[in-house]
Structure 1
Amino acid sequence: MIESSEDNLQKLDIIQYACSLDGQPISGKSVHDIVESYTDGPQLARQVSASVNDFRTRFIMEHESFVTIRNIQIRVNHNLSRIFDTDDEDTEIDFFIHGLGGNLEQFEPILRLDDLCNRYFIAIDLPGFGKSEEYVDYSMGTIVDVVHETLIKILQDSNKKKSNIKFNVIGHSMGCYISLHYFQKYIADFHLRSLILLSPPKVYIPQLRKGYSVTQLGLYALSVFPSAFDYYRTRFDQSRGLKSSGIRDFFHNNSHDNIDLQYRKLWQYQNNIQIKSKSIVGYLRGWEQIDWGNLDDLIKSQSLNSSIKLLIIGGNQDAITPISDIQMFFDTLPIVNDKRLEIIESCSHNICFDCPEKICKIFLKDVLKQV
């Protein structure tokens, strides 16, 4: 089928609209005025902390709610109540799981693209991150259970039957690990159509294995004295503003002419300074490696080789998970008929913020199937 120029224009328009931040800050200021009002450097943390409404967007707030799981509040974003009015068996939901220190807002361009395409989405803040409350146990197995309970609660509150839904699970960074553990533990509970893994970490991280005493001892010390880690992050890293590691290593693009990019960097920085060291250390202490043999056996035993899609997406300038690690992750995943690796040029770890148009274009074609 040959696409008309009108079709291409509509797709281009929908991507531009999904990525545009015009009119989004609830402070009522323009994105340009917000960017111009901040001064990079040691004072930036204080400035962004005093003006949080500059970095709260209308789309996120319109879809924001909280559910109670295990006596803690979990922040979620979804569009089920607005457009989800059928239990048709072809119903699909995109379920987003962020990474270490991240939150659901990092998926904002794709969430907006989903919504524009009348696609159903659910995104959550993991316990201890974003606006979700802290939990007492950050072991990865427990977090996977909390993620599942959150998904079930959202569906129940929306009066939806998960038996009639096909899910696409989208994980970013550590969220790739959680997504794979989730798949391994709950494959019998839901119909998974695809796993879409963004900027996946190393296949195996020996420093985080339970028997690695040096790292575990250091993490234990930081869990007892998280204020020491907080002091380091505040005094020696975040004081550098947009040159701090959480921005420098997560973004490759540095165009000062791209106002939306500059805004997203400030937005990410504002989120970064709110992250508690206690939560980061808890997740690292609770890290669980993937049983790759079991994953392969599950695919075969469930006869998913011809029905499941595995899509890995990474940036060729990613300093956190280099392209060699992403390639190895891809190669280690089970062999299925529909398995593909996409590398985005001139893009780093925070794919959706660094290159929103590029990731939306891939998503539009390979997930939403609007080719």
Structure 2
Amino acid sequence: MSEVNNDALINKACSVEDEPLSHNKLLDIVHKFESVQDKQLVSQILDADNSDDFTLQFIKQHEEFIDSDENKRVRVCHNFSRSNINDVKDLYICLPGLGGSLDQFLPLMKLCDLFGKSFLAIDVFGFGKSDELDQYPMSDIVKKLHTLIMNILTEYNIKKSQTIHLVGHSMGCYLSLHLFTKFNKEWSISHLILLAPPAPTVTNLGKDNRLAQWTLKTLYRVPWLVTFYREWFDQSKGLNSSGIQNFFHQRESKNDDDIENVSLRYLKLVQYYNNVQIKSKSLLGYLLGWDPLDWNQINKSIKESHTEVIIISGEFDKVTDAKCANDVKNSFEEEVELITIPNCAHTITFDASREVCNIFVNKVFSQD
């Protein structure tokens, strides 16, 4: 495919102009909600009459709710077809981070679809529109995700030997690496693509950190305390809340109404819309159930499977900073590629969608 055609498809994948289910213009949505006072933005943005402004059409067309083995409903998004099951190639499995949702993979899902790749994005248990669990030990979450994925592949008659590319964002990098070490012999994993990965070892969440464990266990029993703090001391700041300020890089624009500027401002509102619906108990549960990575096993599996690793980091990421990405790179014994995107913060797929799509086209798709 020519470079010109690639650029056109990347532009189409990154466009959100026609995404709101309400069919309202992006500029109208942005102006409407940016004019709301910070403390009133939560109630205004969650008003049922406004939900279609933040329901993305591509995701709505491709989402499905699956019952897990525990009868928990999980939202997934994919482009599988029961009537055309033999065309599934190069499956990209996307796992969001702590409190994230599959919506954040919108540009990558559209890109896969446009380039004839298969994708499966998952709202992990307790986040997005998936049901909560009673507890969240990471090892159990990984097993549940594996079972869920295998059930979906079975339902759509997709070969178990399918070439898989695991894509994780933030905590989703840990989930992807755990899946890789446990199931790389069962799956043919071509790529591990780690977007904004946490540090290779998160010492504050270690089981031997008694103070942290006691604090998390206490808060897990009374999650309303965390909810109270989030609602009154953070979310009340509206678009100045930490979930926006730390997740997006503040760019200056000569024209406030140019489409790229408006699209980014709209995506910030989408992020905020999803942020205010994050369940505090699930946040605490994942932190409490955090499992360290076994880097000896990861490196052994990488050598055996010849899986390629690409790490993508944002220059101005305040959540998982450049040191985290570099430390992860240095934890691999094999040569891996680290790409730092300038003028980009934590929500890489929203904050630098065009750059991320370019990387996938030139570094990953070109090898398929």
TM-score range, shorter chain: over 0.9
1:282 deviates by 0.1
2:287 is matched with which residue: 274, 284, 287?
Answer: 284
The answer (yes or no) to whether the contact 1:295–1:334 under 8 Å persists in 2 is no
| Aligned equivalents of 1:319, 1:172: Cα separation in 2 | 14
| Aligned equivalents of 1:254, 1:42: Cα separation in 2 | 24
| Aligned equivalents of 1:99, 1:82: Cα separation in 2 | 29
Task: Sort the Cα spacing of 1:253 and 1:364 in 2 relative to 1 into closer, same or farther, 3 A.
Answer: farther
Q: Deviations over 1:68-102 (max 9, x none)?
A: 112100100000117853278xx310000110000
Task: Name the aligned partner's letter for residue 67 of structure 1.
Answer: I
Alignment root-mean-square deviation, CA? 1.6
Task: Name the aligned partner's letter for residue 359 of structure 1.
Answer: V
| Aligned equivalents of 1:49, 1:180: Cα separation in 2 | 35
Q: How many residues align?
A: 357
| Aligned equivalents of 2:344, 2:95: Cα separation in 1 | 20
| Structure 1 residue aligned with 2:72 | 72
Percent of pairs identical after alignment? 39
2:160 is matched with which residue: 159, 162, 183?
Answer: 162
Task: Name the aligned partner's letter for residue 71 of structure 2.
Answer: N
Map 1:66-145 to 2 at 5 A: 66-69=65-68, 70-81=70-81, 85-86=85-86, 91-145=89-143
| Structure 1 residue aligned with 2:14 | 19
1:278 deviates by 0.2
The answer (yes or no) to whether the contact 2:82–2:156 under 8 Å persists in 1 is no
The answer (yes or no) to whether the contact 1:251–1:348 under 8 Å persists in 2 is yes
1:203 is aligned to 2:206: no
Q: Deviations over 1:271-327 (max 9, x none)?
A: 000001000000000001101112122333xx33xx311100001111011111111
1:184 deviates by 0.9
Task: Sort the Cα spacing of 1:146 and 1:42 in 2 relative to 1 into closer, same or farther, 3 A.
Answer: same
Task: Sort the Cα spacing of 1:103 and 1:84 in 2 relative to 1 into closer, same or farther, 3 A.
Answer: farther
Q: 5+ unaligned residues in a row in structure 1: which ranges? A: none
| Structure 1 residue aligned with 2:144 | 146
| Aligned equivalents of 1:283, 1:22: Cα separation in 2 | 34
Q: 5+ unaligned residues in a row in structure 2: which ranges? A: none
The answer (yes or no) to whether the contact 2:85–2:156 under 8 Å persists in 1 is no
1:109 deviates by 0.5
The answer (yes or no) to whether the contact 1:40–1:242 under 8 Å persists in 2 is no
Stretch moving more, 252-261 or 326-335? 252-261
The answer (yes or no) to whether the contact 1:80–1:120 under 8 Å persists in 2 is yes
The answer (yes or no) to whether the contact 1:81–1:158 under 8 Å persists in 2 is yes
| Structure 2 residue aligned with 1:28 | 23
| Aligned equivalents of 2:314, 2:213: Cα separation in 1 | 30
Q: Deviations over 1:143-201 (max 9, x none)?
A: 101111111111111111212x1000000000111111111111121111110000000
| Aligned equivalents of 2:18, 2:221: Cα separation in 1 | 44
